[in-house]
A and B are shown apart, each in its own frame.
Chain A
Amino acid sequence: MTEEEAIFDPTLKKKKKKKKTAFDLDAALADGGGENEAPSNNTDGGAADTKSDEKAEEDDVNVDIDLDFTKKKKKKKKPFSADDLDAIESKEEGAGEGGPQEDGNVDDNFDLDMLDFSKSKKKKKKKKDLDELMAEAEEKAEDKENGCTVEMVSETVDENSTQWGNSDRDYTYEELLNRAFEIMRDKNPDMAAGKKQKFVMRPPQVVKIGAKKTSFANFTEICKMLHRQPKHLLDFLLAELGTSGSVDGNSQLIIKGRFQQKQIENVLRRYIKEYVTCHTCRSPDTILQKDTRLFFLQCETCGSRCSVASIKSGFQAVTSKRAAIRAKTA
């Protein structure tokens, strides 16, 4: 996941940087202050906005657009009065949603700029969420929600790529860097570092059976989801947990020993890392083949092929009663 962090770092820094430059300019140019202040206000507003606010904004859109121009003038005259800041904020929230419908005169370009800031802010939030979720491929819970965010992100990225098109202010390094990345991702959607589809996993359903056994109820379902042979996953689980177990009639896995869902999840995560995701591009779209006693992981996305570690249970200490073992073997 370090790669992803590296990719999104610029955007994270960008937030802070942008605010700083905006305020510096305020101090330096009293005239330009009005203009430069607006984005910073807007970003603050954007940060404060929660998803619940978005709906309210949309309702206000039409009213706010009418008020746009008058308020803008006020703002430029006395940029530091608190009342105006509020007014600007509220107006910009409205403009943020209504902006795309407006025509391209100078003021509107400016509005579009601000709109993009607010939007990019939202986008970042979502991307971060996505990252965290991607990091833990089988943190499921909000599967459906994530499906939505992926789409939303791709939309905002498209808008963002043109956000500097009409303004004539100086670009910061981070903005340019970001833009380069966005264009790169737009042009090569299949690229490994680009928009990744989240690898969604359902949680393993782990139920205790009595005192000494554990049932892994959706074992075969998870095998299907991972496109792996149940036997392979079974071997891995039993080797890792150092126990014995079997699949019963209801296609659930019965493991000897007491295990919690969290523990099984951990082991599954390790299995996915080693045997499901491609070691080169981390795509889950892979095939596991057996070739001359070795397992090979063939990636369908990038075409790489690499061998994976064989499953060995290794040394197993004697944990049951020795007398019982002796009685069994004898």
Chain B
Amino acid sequence: MSIQNLNTFDPFADASKGADDDVQDGLVHIRIQQRNGRKTLTTVQGLSSDYDLKKIVRACKKEFACNGTVIDHPEYGEVLQLQGDQRENICQWLTKAGLAKPDQLKVHGF
């Protein structure tokens, strides 16, 4: 017999903490857009605002050897924008860095 109220374990610890200690919740949409010619643009929407997107984009730029920027959108929040088709790269990188689980990543486009 144990009295629930005297337990030191807090049953709501998980809920209040959320999932952001490990990975964020919600889908991360990775899209591709065609520009002129063979050029493309990759956008990453839905990364949690708890992360410093500027640092992420800096790391990505270095890793993928491409340019990129963070765009503040009134509806979709901060969106990462990278030059070229970086869909594969960004998927691998996000999972490797532990920012998102593979099933949270939603890749759009062809």
Query: Which A residues have a C-beta under 8 Å from some C-beta of B?
Result: 239-243, 257-260, 262-264, 266-267, 314-317, 319
CB pair A258–B29 under 8 Å, yes or no, is no
Please give the distance in Å from B27's CB to the nearest CB on chain A: 10
Residues of A within 8 A of B41 (CB): 317, 319
Asked if B48 is an interface residue, CB under 8 A from chain A, the answer is: no
Asked if B105 is an interface residue, CB under 8 A from chain A, the answer is: no
Given that A242-B108, A267-B110 are contacting pairs, would A257 and B34 also be in contact in the complex, using a CB cutoff of 8 Å?
yes
Residues of A within 8 A of B79 (CB): 315, 317
Asked if B91 is an interface residue, CB under 8 A from chain A, the answer is: no
Residues of A within 8 A of B36 (CB): 319
CB pair B108–A240 under 8 Å, yes or no, is yes
Asked if B86 is an interface residue, CB under 8 A from chain A, the answer is: no
Q: Across the two chains, which residue of chain A brings its CB closest to B46?
A: A314
Name B92-110 residues within 8 Å CB distance of A.
108-110
Given that A266-B110, A267-B110 are contacting pairs, would A315 and B43 also be in contact in the complex, using a CB cutoff of 8 Å?
yes
> What is the CA–CA distance of A226 and B34 in the complex, to the nearest angstrom?
28
Q: List 30 A-B contacts (CB under 8 A).
A: A239-B108, A240-B109, A241-B109, A242-B31, A242-B34, A243-B34, A260-B110, A262-B110, A264-B110, A267-B109, A314-B29, A314-B31, A314-B43, A314-B45, A314-B76, A315-B29, A315-B43, A315-B45, A315-B71, A315-B73, A315-B76, A315-B79, A316-B33, A317-B33, A317-B41, A317-B71, A317-B81, A319-B33, A319-B34, A319-B36
Which of A241, A259, A314 neighbours the largest number of chain B CB atoms within 10 Å of its CB?
A314
Asked if B32 is an interface residue, CB under 8 A from chain A, the answer is: yes
> What is the CA–CA distance of A316 and B110 in the complex, to the nearest angstrom?
15
Number of residue pairs A-B, CB distance < 8 angstroms: 53
CB pair B34–A317 under 8 Å, yes or no, is no
> What is the CA–CA distance of A267 and B72 in the complex, to the nearest angstrom?
28
Asked if B55 is an interface residue, CB under 8 A from chain A, the answer is: no
Q: Across the two chains, which residue of chain A brings its CB closest to B33?
A: A242
Asked if B17 is an interface residue, CB under 8 A from chain A, the answer is: no
> What is the CA–CA distance of A120 and B109 in the complex, to the nearest angstrom?
42
CB pair B35–A319 under 8 Å, yes or no, is yes
> What is the CA–CA distance of A258 and B36 in the complex, to the nearest angstrom?
10
Q: Across the two chains, which residue of chain A brings its CB closest to B76?
A: A315
Query: Which B residues have a C-beta under 8 Å from some C-beta of A?
Result: 29, 31-36, 41, 43, 45, 71, 73, 75-76, 79, 81, 108-110
- Further 6 A-B residue pairs, CB within 8 A, beyond A241-B34, A266-B110, A315-B29: A242-B33, A314-B31, A315-B43, A315-B45, A315-B79, A319-B34
> What is the CA–CA distance of A314 and B31 in the complex, to the nearest angstrom?
9
**7 closest A-B pairs by CB:** A263-B110, A257-B34, A242-B33, A315-B76, A315-B45, A315-B79, A319-B35
> What is the CA–CA distance of A259 and B34 in the complex, to the nearest angstrom?
10
> What is the CA–CA distance of A314 and B43 in the complex, to the nearest angstrom?
10
Residues of A within 8 A of B109 (CB): 240-242, 267
Please give the distance in Å from A309's CB to the nearest CB on chain B: 9
> What is the CA–CA distance of A243 and B33 in the complex, to the nearest angstrom?
7
> What is the CA–CA distance of A241 and B108 in the complex, to the nearest angstrom?
7
Residues of B within 8 A of A314 (CB): 29, 31, 43, 45, 76, 108
Which of B34, B41, B75 neighbours the largest number of chain A CB atoms within 10 Å of its CB?
B34
Q: Across the two chains, which residue of chain A brings its CB closest to B81?
A: A317
> What is the CA–CA distance of A242 and B32 in the complex, to the nearest angstrom?
7
Q: Across the two chains, which residue of chain B brings its CB closest to A321?
A: B36
> What is the CA–CA distance of A69 and B81 in the complex, to the nearest angstrom?
78
Please give the distance in Å from A185's CB to the nearest CB on chain B: 32
> What is the CA–CA distance of A260 and B38 in the complex, to the nearest angstrom?
13
> What is the CA–CA distance of A217 and B79 in the complex, to the nearest angstrom?
35
Please give the distance in Å from A2's CB to the nearest CB on chain B: 15
Q: Across the two chains, which residue of chain B brings its CB closest to A312?
A: B29
Residues of B within 8 A of A264 (CB): 110
Residues of B within 8 A of A319 (CB): 33-36, 41
Residues of A within 8 A of B108 (CB): 239-240, 242, 314
Please give the distance in Å from A157's CB to the nearest CB on chain B: 36
CB pair A259–B110 under 8 Å, yes or no, is yes
> What is the CA–CA distance of A263 and B41 in the complex, to the nearest angstrom?
16
